[in-house]
Amino acid sequence: SAYPTHFRPVILFLQSPLYVLNLFSESRSKDTVEQQGGFLTFSEGESATLDCTFSTNLPMPYLYWYQQNSSGLPTYILQRFSNSGSNGENFKKRFNASLSSKAVPLTIQNLQESDSAVYYCAFASNVWVGSFCLMKTDSN
């Protein structure tokens, strides 16, 4: 490693938010999600808070956080809605978010080098009328 053992930076890159489109929503509200982009650098063991604000007329929006590391696809971290939510299997201990009426900041405790990644905030309404499932089957 190029860094002394007492200093290993954790670089978190904030990306523009994802918009989870709900084509079946009866609401025509103007929903927005804002996330400050850029690099944030921390040392291992520190805590980091990543901001995400939103605006919606919907009574109970769902807010999500995803992590995308060098392996490729975004990985689900957590979701928050109303007074509840859930965390992904690998994100239960050090990752947390509290949903307010306008924000859902992500806090990561005890940062590890493996936390270096791109982080996305995403929004979806709670009104889902239809769902789709794509399945690959044998042509025989």
Q: What CATH number is associated with residue 16? A: 2.60.40.10
Residue 77 lies in a domain: yes
- Going by pLDDT thresholds of 50, 70 and 90, the confidence category of residue 86 is very high
Token pair, residue 27, equals: 């609401």
Q: Is the pTM of this model over 0.85?
A: no
pLDDT tens digit sequence for 28-64: 457 777 777 777 888 888 898 988 888 887 777 888 8
The total of structural domains in the chain comes to 1
Q: What is the pLDDT of residues 111-125, one digit of tens each?
A: 888 888 888 888 876
In the prediction, which pLDDT does 21 show?
Answer: 40
Residue 61: partners with Cβ closer than 8 Å, 6 or more residues away: 31, 54, 81, 123, 124, 125, 126
- pLDDT at 84 exceeding the cut of 70: yes
Identify which of 38, 43, 40, 39 has the alpha carbon closest to the alpha carbon of residue 9. Answer: 43
Range of the domain at 61: 9-124
- Tell me if 111 is assigned to some domain: yes
